[in-house]
Structure 1
Amino acid sequence: MAVKPFTQLACPLDGEPLQRESNTWRCALAHSFDVARQGYVNLLPVQNKRSRDPGDSKAMMVARQEFLADGFYQPIADAVAGAVLSNTDPSVELNCLDAGCGEGYYLRQLAANSQPTQSLNLMGLDISKWAVQAAARQDKQAAWVVGNNANLPVLSETLDRVLCMFGFPVYPEFLRVLKPGGTLLMVDAGNDHLRELREIIYPTLKPPRPPQHQAPAGFEQGQIQQVHFPVQLPDARQISNLLMMTPHLYRASAAGLARAEQLTELRVTVDVRLSTLIKARHTPAPNQQ
């Protein structure tokens, strides 16, 4: 197995190709971006930030890292790795981006699931610097970038796979950076996802959303897989970690969060939808930037 960092990066200010010189990425128009000591690069310009410290907090990253390290979401990671690598010649290099990578769990699992002959060029991107720092500390094989899905610092038509795990898809940008025939793999919460926890923290549950079957413009719908399994959370710490790594932490009422804090163990259902979207081969990529 050969895992290397993806290097076909674009300047976030002008879209020009970036070249790495020692510990700095530079474009032809003299914009430069230094590699941090942890090994990542920040390609999120200040003017593109919506807040001073966007994305998940440091505490949320610690919670996610502890939760995922215990293997509770391993079946999701295995399903995603299988979808990325399916119908792929192991001798062909794959360029893969995790758009909203968090602390890098799913890219690390992808690398671990690949065949010995498979060459992977990997990049993880997240708007949270805390997430990217955590990812870069744990893994030196991939490229780790602070950036925004709305303005991916990636050259057009250079990626074979894009992952969007419980994230915020920006379909025109994903379309731009994918090669014709490349695939977008999305994981979204299903109707029963964490139902037992939601029943504790909310007075009532919202009715399930009807599934959307129409592919976004420029994509064709591929395989849809439902991943459904139980998880036994053994203690209050992992229950708290799960809550902290979901939007429910901010949506639940104070009374609901108080009820969750009283739990000492909890069995929850994991229910996610893994959907594959294929970039149509005849679709021209939008203009760079």
Structure 2
Amino acid sequence: MSVHAFDALACPLDGDALSLSQACWRCPSGHSFDVARQGYLHLLPVQNKRSLDPGDSKAMVAARQRFLNAGYYQPVAEAVNTAVLHDMPSQTISLACLDAGCGEGYYLRQLAAAESGVPLSLMGLDISKWATLAAAKQDKRPRWVVGSNANIPVLPGTLDRLLCLFGFPAYAEFARVLKPGGILVQADAGPDHLRELREVIYPSLKPGKPAATEAPHGFSTLDTETVRYPLTLDSQASIADLLAMTPHLYRASAEGRARAEALETLTVTVEVTLRRFANQAGATLTAT
């Protein structure tokens, strides 16, 4: 399968199209953005940062990379691939797909390795420079961009697929950058996801939030799938990596984290709700 970098980028300052000249992207207004020597592009203006170093830390990214590359979430990745590649139009020349909140790029790498026969135009976006750097080091083919879901640096109506996997959805932005009829693939933790780990680190578990039953504004629901399986972690290191890549690392007390650190083996439930939505809004463009 042919995999190349998505190029329909927009200036994060004025929204105009960016064009590449050597190792620099420029818009007609003269704003310019250099490609880092590691291969990623920084399109997060300082005024849009909420902190000096937003997003996942270097340590969290490293833990997620070790855990995901060990294959523990491979069934989730396979379900995501199926959701992305399902029902592609026969005349599709190239499928443009953005992972909004891509982390260290695991799911885009898995998609790039899938056998679909259709060329893929891929881009990973994450607010963490450490995540984007890790992604760029592992696979040079997709476009890796530091940026925010609140202001996606992509031209309107240019994406066929958009992934939001365990992330922070910005539905208005998703509708803007997707083509009419383009598909949003969203993955969220199910009510039993990592329950056994949560039972170790918390004194008691809060009732889970009820699953959303309506499509986000501007979208229609296509289908919903639950990916559920037991996962056995047989080392302190893998348990520590799982905890470090989740928000539970900061939510748990010191005592709860210590209980998790003392474990040598743990079997947890993986439960992921995967939903597909079709874009009913967006720019009025002819899909290709």
Q: Check conservation: 1:90, 1:119, Cα contact below 8 A.
A: no
Q: Check conservation: 2:125, 2:144, Cα contact below 8 A.
A: yes
Q: How does 1:64-103 map to 2 (within 5 A)?
A: 64-89=64-89, 92=92, 93-103=94-104
Which amino acid counterpart does residue 59 of structure 1 have in structure 2? A
Q: Check conservation: 2:178, 2:282, Cα contact below 8 A.
A: no
Per-residue deviation, 1:114:
3.1
Same amino acid, percent of matched pairs: 61
Partner Cα distance (1:195, 1:91) in 2: 44
Q: Check conservation: 2:177, 2:282, Cα contact below 8 A.
A: no
Normalising by structure 2, what TM-score? 0.97
Partner Cα distance (2:90, 2:261) in 1: 47
Per-residue deviation, 1:217:
1.2
Q: Check conservation: 1:224, 1:273, Cα contact below 8 A.
A: yes
Partner Cα distance (2:283, 2:215) in 1: 17
Per-residue deviation, 1:208:
1.9
Q: Check conservation: 2:156, 2:282, Cα contact below 8 A.
A: no
- Deviations along 1:22-80, whole A, 9 cap, x unmatched? 10000000000000011000000000000000000000011000000110000000000
Identify the residue that residue 112 of structure 1 maps to in structure 2: 113
Identify the residue that residue 199 of structure 1 maps to in structure 2: 199
Give the alignment partner of residue 285 of structure 1, picking from 250, 268, 283.
283
Normalising by structure 1, what TM-score? 0.96
Q: How does 1:162-177 map to 2 (within 5 A)?
A: 162-177=162-177
Identify the residue that residue 272 of structure 1 maps to in structure 2: 272
SS in structure 1 of the partner of residue 103 of structure 2: coil
Q: Check conservation: 1:202, 1:256, Cα contact below 8 A.
A: yes
Per-residue deviation, 1:259:
0.5
Partner Cα distance (1:29, 1:114) in 2: 41
Q: How does 1:1-289 map to 2 (within 5 A)?
A: 1-89=1-89, 92=92, 93-115=94-116, 117-280=117-280, 283-285=281-283
- Deviations along 1:146-171, whole A, 9 cap, x unmatched? 00000000000000000001000000
Q: CA RMSD in A?
A: 1.1
Partner Cα distance (1:245, 1:151) in 2: 24
Q: 1:55 to 1:95 in 2, by over 3 A?
A: same
Q: Check conservation: 1:33, 1:41, Cα contact below 8 A.
A: yes
Segments of 5+ residues of structure 2 without an aligned counterpart are: none
Partner Cα distance (2:104, 2:91) in 1: 28
Q: Check conservation: 2:193, 2:272, Cα contact below 8 A.
A: yes
Partner Cα distance (2:224, 2:78) in 1: 15
Per-residue deviation, 1:91:
5.8
Per-residue deviation, 1:211:
1.4
Q: How many residues are paired up?
A: 283
SS in structure 2 of the partner of residue 152 of structure 1: coil
Q: 1:22 to 1:165 in 2, by over 3 A?
A: same
